[in-house]
A and B are shown apart, each in its own frame.
Chain A
Amino acid sequence: MALFQGTLHAGATISNPNGETGVAGIRVLDFGDRDYILTCAHVVAPPWDEREGAQIDTPAKAPGKAGESVFGSVHSWSRLRSGFTHPVDAALVKPFLGVRLSNEFLRLPAAPHRVMPDLRQFLAAPGAPSQLKIQTARGPVTGTVRAFTSRSFLLRNRPYHFADILEYEAQVHAGDSGSIVIDAQSRAVMGLHFAGIESRQGYCIPIEVVLKFFPEHKLRIAK
């Protein structure tokens, strides 16, 4: 097992031991200032391979090559069960000792304004911004906000239902899961991109919901 040493920036590609690929979304801190990478549960702990402590690589590796550059291990995640409605698809990855996490490339605003509060209400207000950016591993991708919706997604031919998710038009691709969605104007974090229709539209879970899903950690977004 080779260890990744150095700084892991939000937006880097990551993969689980079976080669499921996604994006290291954002660096978050818990109540004791311990840091984690927030990403999608279906990337690091998919329903067919849920393991606490599973080691996660960066950059993402193909199946069979996992473990070549491990940076951390799965700490907590939202369990996905096919046929059920889920509030979030999110996981926390704990970095190993020699790994420094950074949100530097996201250029987030100062502390109280990093999270967009009450996204649904904010977007419903007249004159609300409609442009957003998705921080994928390929770089930022611009999108246009459509609406809040509920729908099912297939993972290995099994349906997983999600309610209250934000839909947007954007050139997203498979492997972008876990990317952070940012308001193009204020750069406040809007949500965690977790699903999409290839090159057409994407879906994210509001970041407030994601952060509150791990209540024992009292998560907040790092600088």
Chain B
Amino acid sequence: MTEATTSIQALITQIQGGPLNYFLALAALGVLTMSIVQAAKNLLPLRERFHRAALQAWIARRERERLLEVEQHLIRLAADGNFKALYDADTEELCRNLEGVGQLAVDYPLHGSFATLLRSMTSPHIDDDLAILRNPAITGDARVEARDRVRQHLAQSINAFRLSTSSRWQRRLHLTSFAVSFVIALFALWIHGGASYLWAPFSALIAAFLAPVARDLVAGIESLRKS
């Protein structure tokens, strides 16, 4: 009995001295990295620029010549002309507003520049249906069916934009986290002389790779403990 207790205590001491400490250090590194990334996101117009570039590229597929005009129109309708409010919102919110504008454009295709707006938000496959919507002489079931198709197409188009934009944003965040973790780990290793100049970058690379994972694990365990 005493032998078993001693063995278990020895094992725990060994784990505490080795892998556990390393894991906790990685978790702390993860938290520090995430805090830096979050602060940068809050203080710098990173998301604003990212969203603007993404939206401009999306519009430019069809309306490269009238890009700025369409963009201004979108901002006016989606965010009352508040450029920052629209682009600084998260991707989900941005796309919800785009859906609102899209709905308006489908409902009133003959109004002002809504036709250009619709064209910029859809692909060439739907041009025949857009032509029907733009022609007030076409009424009845043909018009209703064309509107149905345009609505479905537009919804899918915005969903695709949402998916690709949020995926690219997440990938950028992951890469940034990795880079920040790497720099911090490298700095720590060099300052404290824990590793040789050759070994330090390699250690930092492993730490940077594992830090976000460790941080997520700690957050998961913490939320489980709270619930």
* A binding-site residues for B, Cβ under 8 Å: 5, 29, 32-35, 96-98, 100, 111, 222-223
B25 on the interface (CB 8 Å rule)? no
Interface size class of B (residues with CB under 8 A): 20 to 34
- Partner of A222 from the list B108, B144, B156 (CB cut-off 8 Å) is B144
* B binding-site residues for A, Cβ under 8 Å: 99, 102-103, 106-108, 139-141, 143-144, 147-148, 151-152, 154-156, 158-159
* Contacts A5-B155, A33-B144; A97 near B108 (Cβ below 8 A): no
- Min CB distance B94 to A, Å, is 15
Q: Judging by beta carbons under 8 Å apart, are B144 and A29 in contact?
A: yes
Q: Judging by beta carbons under 8 Å apart, are B102 and A97 in contact?
A: yes
Q: Judging by beta carbons under 8 Å apart, are A98 and B144 in contact?
A: no
Q: Judging by beta carbons under 8 Å apart, are B152 and A34 in contact?
A: no
Q: Contacts of A223 on B, CB cut-off 8 Å? A: 141, 144
* Contacts A33-B139, A222-B144; A97 near B151 (Cβ below 8 A): yes
Q: Judging by beta carbons under 8 Å apart, are B147 and A33 in contact?
A: yes
A88-B151 Cα distance, complex, nearest whole Å: 31
A223-B103 Cα distance, complex, nearest whole Å: 21
A223-B155 Cα distance, complex, nearest whole Å: 22
Q: Contacts of A111 on B, CB cut-off 8 Å? A: 140
Q: Contacts of A96 on B, CB cut-off 8 Å? A: 99, 103
Q: Judging by beta carbons under 8 Å apart, are B151 and A100 in contact?
A: yes
Smallest CB-CB separation from A34: which chain B residue?
Answer: B107
A111-B141 Cα distance, complex, nearest whole Å: 10
Q: Contacts of A222 on B, CB cut-off 8 Å? A: 144
Smallest CB-CB separation from A29: which chain B residue?
Answer: B144
Q: Judging by beta carbons under 8 Å apart, are B154 and A97 in contact?
A: yes
Q: Contacts of B106 on A, CB cut-off 8 Å? A: 97
Q: Which 7 A-B pairs have the closest CB atoms?
A: A98-B155, A97-B155, A97-B99, A97-B103, A34-B107, A33-B144, A33-B143
- Min CB distance A71 to B, Å, is 12
Q: Judging by beta carbons under 8 Å apart, are A32 and B107 in contact?
A: yes
- Name the residue in A29, A35, A98, A100 with the highest tally of chain B Cβ atoms < 10 Å from its Cβ: A98
Q: Contacts of A29 on B, CB cut-off 8 Å? A: 144
Q: Contacts of B107 on A, CB cut-off 8 Å? A: 32, 34
Q: Contacts of B141 on A, CB cut-off 8 Å? A: 223
- Min CB distance A124 to B, Å, is 33
Smallest CB-CB separation from B133: which chain A residue?
Answer: A33
Listed A/B pairs (28) with beta-carbon separation below 8 Å: A29-B144, A32-B107, A32-B108, A33-B139, A33-B143, A33-B144, A33-B147, A34-B107, A34-B147, A35-B144, A96-B99, A97-B99, A97-B102, A97-B106, A97-B151, A97-B154, A97-B158, A98-B99, A98-B151, A98-B152, A98-B156, A98-B159, A100-B151, A100-B152, A111-B140, A222-B144, A223-B141, A223-B144
A97-B103 Cα distance, complex, nearest whole Å: 6
- Min CB distance B149 to A, Å, is 9
* Contacts A34-B147, A98-B152 supplied; 20 other A-B pairs, CB < 8 Å: A32-B108, A33-B143, A33-B144, A33-B147, A34-B107, A96-B99, A96-B103, A97-B102, A97-B151, A97-B154, A97-B155, A98-B155, A98-B156, A98-B159, A100-B148, A100-B151, A100-B152, A111-B140, A222-B144, A223-B144
- Min CB distance B206 to A, Å, is 39
- Name the residue in A33, A35, A223 with the highest tally of chain B Cβ atoms < 10 Å from its Cβ: A33
Q: Contacts of B99 on A, CB cut-off 8 Å? A: 96-98
Smallest CB-CB separation from B104: which chain A residue?
Answer: A97
Q: Contacts of A97 on B, CB cut-off 8 Å? A: 99, 102-103, 106, 151, 154-155, 158
- Min CB distance A202 to B, Å, is 30
Q: Contacts of B158 on A, CB cut-off 8 Å? A: 97
A223-B147 Cα distance, complex, nearest whole Å: 14
Smallest CB-CB separation from B155: which chain A residue?
Answer: A98
Q: Contacts of B152 on A, CB cut-off 8 Å? A: 98, 100
